[in-house]
Amino acid sequence: MMSSTCSTLLSALMFFALVVCLSGCSDVAKPPWAAEGHGDKIPAEDCYRIVFADETLKKHDVVRVTRVVPDRKPNNRLEIYCELVNRSKQDLRIQIQTAFKDGRNRIIEETTWHTVLMSALSGTSYTICSTTMDADDYLVRIRLASPAIVFD
């Protein structure tokens, strides 16, 4: 009889954990560590692997990430390959930074901002490899190198 009660309790706890995991990035109250400007939502960096860290890029949808391929190399380093497309009619200078995370979602390594020149209406690729073997996940941030660009 006791094992039946424990089994029911365990099932209820597992269901609760599943609900919490599935609702992780929904509209929830703003946690105290949330970055300003995200309203009452969890910061995008906690929910997504690709983040546009520039309001102009978000608003005008001029750069698209069309493909991301994470790959574990034989030396156990994590490599990230991204394909990006400039959808605007003007050349862009963007900057890309990658943060590598451990199994507990903590940032353990951050690259410098890499400047990438993108011709109008064209695509490019970006590849970066972690220097540590402890990287299990990643976050790629993209921003304009020249924020004064105006899009029609």
Give residue 59's pLDDT.
84
Residue 70 structural domain: 42-144
The residue among 10 and 77 whose pLDDT is bigger is 77
Is residue 139 one of the residues assigned to a domain? yes
Is residue 35 one of the residues assigned to a domain? no
The residue among 56 and 136 whose pLDDT is bigger is 136
Give residue 40's pLDDT.
56
Is residue 48 one of the residues assigned to a domain? yes
User: For the residues 115-144, what does the mean pLDDT come to?
Assistant: 95
Is residue 28 one of the residues assigned to a domain? no
Q: How many CB atoms lie within 10 A of CB 101?
A: 19
C-alpha span between 143 and 113 (Å, rounded)? 9
Is residue 75 one of the residues assigned to a domain? yes
Token pair, residue 31, equals: 């946690």
Is residue 19 one of the residues assigned to a domain? no
Residues 6+ apart with CB under 8 A from 132: 77, 100, 108, 109
Distance of CA 7 to the CA centre of its chain: 38
Closest CA to 64 of 39, 33, 92, 42: 92
Tens digit of pLDDT for each residue in 70-115?
A: 999 999 999 999 999 999 999 999 999 999 999 999 999 999 999 9
Is residue 10 one of the residues assigned to a domain? no
C-beta of residue 89 within 8 angstroms of C-beta of residue 120: yes
Contacts 24+ apart (CB under 8 A), 64-71: 65/140, 65/142, 66/123, 68/140, 70/138
pLDDT higher than 60, residue 29? no
pLDDT higher than 90, residue 38? no
Query: Residue 41's pLDDT band (boundaries 50, 70, 90)?
Result: low
CATH number at residue 135: 2.60.40.3230
Q: What is the pTM of this model?
A: 0.69
Is residue 82 one of the residues assigned to a domain? yes
Number of structural domains the chain divides into? 1
